[in-house]
Structure 1
Amino acid sequence: MMQDMDVEDPVAVVARLREEHQNEPWDRRWNDLEVAGVDLVSLDTRLGGCTYTWVANGGSLHERGLATVGLILGQLETILPELTEDDSPRVWHRLHLMAQLIMAHNTPPAEASS
């Protein structure tokens, strides 16, 4: 799978991962789950907005959005080792991969003309 991603457009990969994530049944237990001080609902919601914007903009996030993804990436790296099988770690690993791809392949937006 990793080889395929090396040749595939990162925007397409993130779009596909985002679609997989959206089709994943939401475990209601996650609504109240906090791991290592990180609220998983908030993390999921914020990354969802950033991935939507990044894909819609063809792989481009502004500085503030990219900073948000960087923060989320750090939170994911904190929580991943703490997750149990009951927490569906594959879901959070998928989000981690999405955040990594965005951070590695972001194209800053062109300066807006006023």
Structure 2
Amino acid sequence: MTGLEPDIAKMWRSHRDRWFPPLLRGAEVGDIDVVQLDADTAGCVSTWLADGGHLDPERTRILTACVKDLDTALAVFTDGEERYYLQQLRILATAVLARTA
């Protein structure tokens, strides 16, 4: 691991401690299931951390798609705790992608 992984691990712990906003439960944005989006993103981040800062090509593809879907969801959820939750998840996902070889 390089010196930046502890920052991602800290962001990950903060994310796991954050309540999932009630308005996002069951929410769909187009064909995006927000609960599934959260789970897919979390799974990729968790795997990245467990594998010492590496993602296989399939998970890299999934996480890249998650960022795109988060952008779509952020266009709908424009304020409140829902937006904050999604923004923090996007920051975490993009940090992992930026450090994935």
Partner of 2:27: 33
1:104 aligns with 2:89: no
Partner of 1:60: 54
CA contact 1:50–1:69 (8 Å) conserved in 2? yes
1:10 aligns with 2:8: no
Aligned positions, number: 100
TM-score, length of structure 1 as denominator length: 0.77
Q: What letter corresponds to residue 42 of structure 2 in structure 1?
A: G
The sequence identity of aligned pairs, in percent, is: 23
TM-score, length of structure 2 as denominator length: 0.86
The alpha-carbon deviation at position 105 of structure 1 amounts to: 0.8
The alpha-carbon deviation at position 44 of structure 1 amounts to: 0.5
CA RMSD between the two structures: 1.8
CA deviations on 1:14-48 (whole Å, 9 max, x unpaired) are 21111111111223332211124321100000111
Unaligned runs of 5+ residues in structure 2 are none
- 1:43-54 map, 5 Å: 43-54=37-48
The list of structure 1 runs, each at least 4 consecutive aligned residues, that deviate by more than 6 angstroms after superposition, is: none
Q: Distance in 1 between matches of 2:28 and 2:64?
A: 19
